Amino acid sequence: MLNTELPSEEHAALDQYPTADLVDTLIADQFNAVQAVRNATPSITAAIEAAAPRIAAGGRLIYVGAGTSGRLGVLDGVELYPTFSWPHERALSLLAGGKGAMFQAVEGAEDDRQQGGADLLELLPQANDVVLLLAASGTTPYVLGALDAANASGALTIGIANNAGAPVVAGAQIGITLDTGNEVISGSTRLKAGTAQKIVLNTISSAIMVRLHKVYGNLMVDMQPTNIKLVQRAVALTMHATGADEAAAREVLEQCGFHVKVAIVALLRKQPVAQAQALLARTDGSVRAALSAP
């Protein structure tokens, strides 16, 4: 059996635990997910270094998975727009069973290898695309079909699984093994296996966005202020980066559609918004480069 499927011998009487002990056991096991990701640091680093230039050259992030793994891919892609203003059409997700499987399990869909390949090909993958293929088992046919199609297209493939030697890891150009072992609730890979996948997806996509100059220092300066909370966050980030008071920060932000990086450059260089925008365009959107430009 796969390690992720093996029954755990450590908590054989889990159903008899007092609630406090049950909660403590479930939480404690999650720390193993963090360690599994740490152990995979070299392969995660290699994935980011290979992916970032392709994305910078116009490639797309494409997530592929089934069940929990697929839903985590959808989540990571969806959150890139409000956090980093990443275009929706450049963060695509394929979930076995289609969009409806996001809300209701379509378990049999993951067994269709041919459909995985067909769904991937419908996206017309290109050489600069980065395809992230997730499967806790590493053997999911739908994901393996997409892997074959992505490899044939010349796209960069990154296979992520929770079992050593998994086909999705071995068949990808870069493989990431998150060896989380068996689960407290045997076979329920929505637990620490899912947590490890969430961490690695957060790490890969966030690191790529940092490399694309969507972060200045450790501030997210390319966010979308799509609600009151995020408008307030844009003001706070601009104040923090520039030392401007709230009135000054808000005034400049209103002139540039609450684009934080433009406001920062305009305030620190004491330039009109239009000049700040032009300067950022010349420096590939890098606030740091714009501030040091002659």
Catalytic residue status for 89: no
| Nearest in space to 261 (alpha carbons), one of 229, 227, 225, 207 | 225
DSSP assignment letter at 166: -
CA distance 60 to 206: 14
Catalytic residue status for 79: yes
> 3-state DSSP call for residue 164?
coil
Bridge partners (DSSP) listed for residue 220: 215
Phi, psi of 217 (to 5 degrees): 65, -120
The active-site residue out of 9, 10, 49, 79 is 79
The active-site residue out of 89, 110, 251, 254 is 110
Query: To which residue do tokens 């991937």 refer?
Result: 120
Beta strand extents in the chain (DSSP E only): 61-65, 91-95, 130-135, 156-161, 174-177, 215-216, 219-220
Which active-site residues does the annotation give?
A: 79, 110
